[in-house]
Amino acid sequence: EIVLTQFPGTLSLSPGERATLSCRASQSIASNYLAWYQQKPGQTPRLLIYAASNRATGIPDRFSGSGSGTDFTLTISRLEPEDFAMYHCQQYGDSPLTFGQGTRLEIK
Amino acid sequence: QVQLVQSGAEVAKPGASVRVSCKTSGYTFTAYYIHWVRQAPGQGLEWVGWINTNSSGTFYGHRFQGRVSVTRDTSVNTAYMDLSGLTPDDTAFYYCARDPIGSSSAIDYWGQGTLVTVSS
């Protein structure tokens, strides 16, 4: 199965700053089927990005995804207070689907 | 509107089995996979398995093979996850979620989660 490694584990930034989150796969992800989810405490995950670079419906354009093959990035161009949360990457190009261990984005 | 409504919390003893249901509405049931994903308290997401609600084909995560079964009933637009041989390590929130068949999109709607607690 494809192992996803997210880094950093925790990212401490201030509102207004730029956030860069990484997700590396143990092998190339078919069709770049890599998704990013945001999860806040007590809530279910929310789809942000699918197929590496496509924003899901209703997601603000400060969120962007990039990458291909084994290396992928989620960028939040200018952090809003509501963006501080846990972020998960997931590959769905091959079964079994797998998730990364998550990156916690916290207020500095 | 799209809804995935899961059954209530379960408490089970080690070695027992549990069934969690996921009743859907607001969309064409057979146009979407149903995935099961779990999350232990304070931990990350772990994929359990999926069912193609159109063909009833399934695929399970390696660590669940042999003790998980995902089924669906198209007459009531509901999917089920049965997990057997429970251990305390299976204590987690279990989520169902949908994903369009034959699309490049990913999981876009989730159930509210069902807490399964395994304790003697």
Q: How far apart are CA B9 and CA B117, in angstroms?
A: 8
Distances (CA, A) of B58 to A8, A84, B7, B65, B88: 34, 36, 21, 11, 25
Supply the pLDDT for residue A41. 94
Q: How far apart are CA B34 and CA B32, in angstroms?
A: 6
Nearest CB neighbour to B110, from listed A44, A95, A101: A44
Residue B117: count other Cβ atoms within 10 Å of its Cβ.
14
The verdict on a CB contact (< 8 Å) between A88 and B44 is yes
B86 CA to chain A: closest CA distance, Å? 21
Model confidence at B48: pLDDT above 90: yes
Reading the block at residue B17, the tokens are 């089995």
Supply the pLDDT for residue A28. 97
pLDDT band, very low/low/confident/very high, at B104 (cuts 50, 70, 90) = confident
pLDDT band, very low/low/confident/very high, at B103 (cuts 50, 70, 90) = confident
The verdict on a CB contact (< 8 Å) between A51 and B47 is no
Average pLDDT, chain B: 96
Q: How far apart are CA B94 and CA A38, in angstroms?
A: 17
The verdict on a CB contact (< 8 Å) between A101 and B35 is no
Nearest CB neighbour to B47, from listed A50, A51, A97: A97
Model confidence at B55: pLDDT above 90: yes
